[in-house]
Amino acid sequence: MKNSESNTYYLEEAPIRKAIAHLSIPMIIGMLVGTIYNIINAYFIGLMHDTAMLSAITLGLPIFTVLMAFGNMFGVGGGTFITRLVSIGEGEVAKRVAGYSFYGSIITGLVIAVASYFTMKPLVHLLGADAATFDYTRQYSLTMFAGGFAIIWNFALEQMVRSEGASKESMFGMFIAIALSIVFDILFILVLNWHVFGAALSMVLANIGSTIYYVWYLQTKSENLKGFMYHFKIDIKSQLEVYKIGISELLQATFLIITTLLLNNYSMGYGANVVASFGIALRIVQFPEFLSMGLFLGVIPLIAYNFSTKNITRLKAAIKQTAITIGVISGVFIGLVSLFKEPVIHMFSNDPSVLNIGAYILVAMLISALFNGFTGLFTGIFQASGEGIPTTIMAVTQGVLFIPVIIVLHYFFGLHGIVWSMTISEVITCAMGLVLFIFYTKKINSSENKKPSLDTFW
């Protein structure tokens, strides 16, 4: 019987609902507060009463996406591998994987910063900036890329903290970042009037603060990873195990960036008010999406642990309970926002043109959010289980599918096609996830009686 205060107890023995609550509630709280921060960030910029500024931070969203993806490449790839290693008693190998992911994330961030500096002008144009938004978008982009190492580093470490089931500690790090972000937003945007530069600098500094906490926790308090900073090298097999899952995060982000660029460029053809409306709608639907994300991210260690130990009954129970909860969360939120969509949008802009199109865009985004939660759950299950092929298929489908969908729908239906393209893509991707999950279920049923070992990973 494991100590009930131990993170391992919740992964291995605790009742499923208790385990999911312990692992996911801190993540849900962290994601929820993080979503509130993102909205506050847009709110502070909105106080400048400049639609070009609001459009600029919307156009800059792909930058954060790509930085987060590189962090998750090491964090999700390394973190899920660490959980599976710990579950079979390979703690020393887990430390080496953590060290490799730690230093790899720093180096990657610095390389990206240097590369982006020399390609900034074409990058800003690629983001969809026009003459009115170019300077603001450039300021935001330069700052985000220069401090991008902190964002990559933070996401990698946060995933490693969660890899051993330390959800509360992961949440504490998020709270640190959010608290610092709000303080810096007020200082940089409202007091010093640094507008979009201040918004980006606030995000960078907040991530540095969170990262410092995660390093302290992992190095001094972690149940399994103390001393990870003294390791850097891992063998080729372990590297492949990290990247076969981690690379899907990068692919997904790459396709998401293409999606955002297409969306921005098509939207700009209808005016800055349409771009701003998409930005507002996307931030609002982050509530159910981030709540669902907090839930399935929280249970990834639970799934990974029980997949590795071949406790299939517990594994299935965890997946079933998580799916039910995602459905309830998404349904309730979407219903409430649908009833009050116009007052909600009015919180972000007084521009009549933004309010008019924003309510319409929000309806499509809310429907997309319902399916997004289940798509994320399917992907999380495959990641936790080290299933590289279905994980990659989900990432590619979610990205590639959107390209022909938005092109075709825009050609035939104009702005209406742009608005509904993301929703249609999300529904199809979710259906693909369900098909892959059926095959996954057959696989785990056939492996139930096999003895877990390090050799089963390769």
In eight-state DSSP terms, residue 4 is T
User: Stretch 393-413: mean pLDDT, rounded?
Assistant: 87
The percent of residues in the chain predicted with pLDDT above 70, rounded, is 93
pLDDT above 70 (res 442): yes
CA 147 – CA 127 distance, rounded (Å): 19
* pLDDT tens column, 218-266: 998 888 888 888 888 888 888 888 888 888 777 877 776 777 778 878 8
User: Stretch 28-48: mean pLDDT, rounded?
Assistant: 69
CA 310 – CA 366 distance, rounded (Å): 37
CA 42 – CA 58 distance, rounded (Å): 9
pLDDT above 80 (res 449): no
Identify the three-state secondary structure at position 287. helix
CA 22 – CA 216 distance, rounded (Å): 22
pLDDT above 60 (res 185): yes
pLDDT above 70 (res 39): no
User: pLDDT value at position 3?
Assistant: 55
User: Stretch 430-455: mean pLDDT, rounded?
Assistant: 79
User: Stretch 353-359: mean pLDDT, rounded?
Assistant: 76
pLDDT above 60 (res 453): no
User: Stretch 256-277: mean pLDDT, rounded?
Assistant: 78
Question: What is the chain's mean pLDDT, rounded?
Answer: 83
User: Stretch 46-74: mean pLDDT, rounded?
Assistant: 79
CA 390 – CA 399 distance, rounded (Å): 14
* 297 band by pLDDT with thresholds 50, 70 and 90: confident
User: Stretch 303-315: mean pLDDT, rounded?
Assistant: 89
* 318 band by pLDDT with thresholds 50, 70 and 90: very high
User: Stretch 60-72: mean pLDDT, rounded?
Assistant: 83
Record the pTM. 0.76
pLDDT higher for 292 or 283? 292
pLDDT higher for 427 or 346? 427
pLDDT above 60 (res 457): no
CA 75 – CA 210 distance, rounded (Å): 15
Q: Which two tokens stand for residue 11?
A: 């992964």
User: Stretch 154-170: mean pLDDT, rounded?
Assistant: 86
User: pLDDT value at position 36?
Assistant: 66
User: pLDDT value at position 134?
Assistant: 82
User: pLDDT value at position 230?
Assistant: 84
CB 143 within 8 A of CB 125: no
User: pLDDT value at position 439?
Assistant: 93
CA 213 – CA 68 distance, rounded (Å): 18
17 C-beta neighbours (distance < 10 Å), count? 12
Q: Where are the domains of the chain?
A: 12-457
pLDDT above 80 (res 192): yes
CB 205 within 8 A of CB 180: yes
* 445 band by pLDDT with thresholds 50, 70 and 90: confident
The percent of residues in the chain predicted with pLDDT above 90, rounded, is 17
User: pLDDT value at position 412?
Assistant: 92
389 C-beta neighbours (distance < 10 Å), count? 11
